[in-house]
Amino acid sequence: QSADLVIGSVLIPGAAAPKLVTDDMVAGMKPGSLLVDIAIDQGGCFEGSHATTHDAPTFAVHDALYYCVANMPGAVPETSTRALTNATLPYVTALADRGWDAAAAADPSLAKGLNVRGGEVVNAGVAAALGYAQAD
């Protein structure tokens, strides 16, 4: 309740973000407080969050200001594209060189990123979020 700034950055891979900050908590915050919900792309981690845009990035609730821009990196597209490419290109190269099954077998981090295999959902979080059974 004494915070001037709250940044929510919860990520549960493949699942919606849990709501960690309630509307009652926000109501008790100092007027002019700012809430930045970085988890908005996963549904947001503040109870009052809803996605906004770069053109209209904020809204007020209980005298607090929310910033919930979906795809925040889109504000700097060239820089964010370079960063994403640097992070993902090794995986793309491995998939292209080896095929998905051999690449996933050789790299546990790549295997953990696999959501669907042979038409079946293999990621537990994705299966739960979509209401599908998880395949082995």
Let me know whether 46 and 86 are in one domain: no
What does pLDDT average to over the chain?
94
* Pairing state between β 120-121 and 116-117: antiparallel
Q: How far apart are CA 123 and CA 116, in angstroms?
A: 7
pLDDT at 70: 94
**63 and 83 fall within a common domain:** no
- Cα gap 125→13, rounded to integer Å: 7
Q: Are 55 and 81 members of one domain?
A: no
Band (129; pLDDT cuts 50, 70, 90): confident
54-111, pLDDT tens digit by residue? 999 999 999 999 999 999 999 999 999 999 999 999 999 999 999 999 999 999 999 9
Q: Are residues 67 and 80 in the same domain?
A: no
Give pLDDT, residue 2. Answer: 83
DSSP designation for 54: S
Q: Which residue has the higher pLDDT, 113 or 21?
A: 21
